[in-house]
Amino acid sequence: MNHHQLEKDIEHLEHVITRISAADRIPLSYWRSRLKSILGAALVPSQASRLKRLNDALSALEARENLAPSAGNVR
């Protein structure tokens, strides 16, 4: 992945992940796969740091999703 595309992808994830929730139309698993695809690229330290923050934020969303009761269990 070239530097410009990598930077655009990171910026897009920074924009989206701060605004999504587990209830959004696009599942968190999609954003996890996008993040994993970028983590496989050669990163400079600042990009690695940004991706760590994104990974932490997405992990927190996934944890909340796993703790939330499913719609079938709500009375």
* Residue range 5-23, pLDDT digits in tens: 999 999 999 999 999 988 8
- Type and span of the H or E element at 16: helix 3-17
pLDDT at 71 over 80: no
**What integer pLDDT is reported at residue 70 of this predicted model?**
61
37 Rama class: left (phi>0) / alpha (psi -120 to 50) / beta: alpha
pLDDT tier for residue 75 given thresholds of 50, 70 and 90: very low
Mean pLDDT score, 46-58: 97
Smallest CA-to-CA distance from 69 within 20, 23, 2 is with: 23
The whole-model pTM stands at 0.83
What tokens appear for 58 in the block? 């997405």
